[in-house]
């Protein structure tokens, strides 16, 4: 199913295209971004970005995940991504990352809110979970601002196989 862009006050959430690959490398390939995530490798290659983007359409058509580019409405500048993964029935896990030049502008909070509202009203998903590295409290604030409640601290292995502390959150609308 083709997904139309989702528009908020300042942002457009839209499917990635292969023409976004170099900008994904520029943003996600920043060590500061990689260090705030569990899975983004550093360095991040153009081939990795192209492969990642190429997976999105099939994953959405199989209802496995939805990965969207976050673009500024006024400049059409790619600033990050917001996603739903592990979609099962009315439940999904939210993920996101933002390019370093765009940190602290509320874009993640706005994008997550927009995606939650869209999925609740158009797809009946009303139970959302999320997690972040404990070393990235700003990500936790995004979750809290979007009505999520802290659940627990757990240990998980990162991309290097090291155990890291993760904070988990949940939001369920009835």
What is the mean pLDDT, run by run of 10 residues, along the chain of 174 residues? 88 98 97 93 95 92 92 98 93 97 98 96 94 97 98 94 96 85
pLDDT score at 127: 97
**Reported pTM:** 0.94
pLDDT score at 14: 98
Query: What would the pLDDT profile of 128-171 be if each residue is shown by its tens digit?
Result: 999 999 999 999 999 999 999 999 999 999 888 999 999 999 99
Closest CA relative to residue 108, chosen from 134, 130, 88? 130
pLDDT score at 174: 67
pLDDT score at 19: 98
What CATH number belongs to 6-129? 3.40.630.30
Give the helix ranges, DSSP H, for the chain. Answer: 21-28, 31-34, 46-61, 107-123, 137-145
Asked whether the bond before 43 is cis by omega within 30 degrees of 0, the reply is yes
């Amino acid at each position: 199913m083709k997904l139309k862009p989702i528009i908020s006050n300042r942002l457009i959430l839209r499917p990635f295209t292969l023409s976004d690959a170099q900008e994904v490398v520029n943003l996600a390939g920043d060590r500061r971004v990689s260090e705030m995530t569990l899975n983004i490798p550093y360095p991040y290659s153009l081939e990795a970005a192209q492969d990642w983007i190429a997976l999105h359409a099939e994953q959405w058509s199989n209802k496995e995940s939805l990965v969207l580019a976050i673009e500024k409405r006024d400049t059409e500048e790619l600033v990050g991504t917001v996603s739903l993964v592990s979609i099962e029935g009315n439940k999904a896990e939210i993920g996101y990352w933002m390019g370093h030049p765009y940190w602290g502008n509320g874009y993640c909070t706005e994008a997550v809110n927009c995606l939650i509202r869209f999925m609740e009203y158009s797809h009946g998903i009303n139970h959302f979970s999320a997690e972040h590295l404990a070393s990235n409290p700003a990500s936790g604030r995004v979750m809290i601002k979007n009505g999520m409640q802290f659940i627990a601290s757990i240990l998980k292995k990162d991309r290097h196989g090291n155990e890291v502390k993760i904070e988990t959150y949940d939001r369920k609308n009835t």
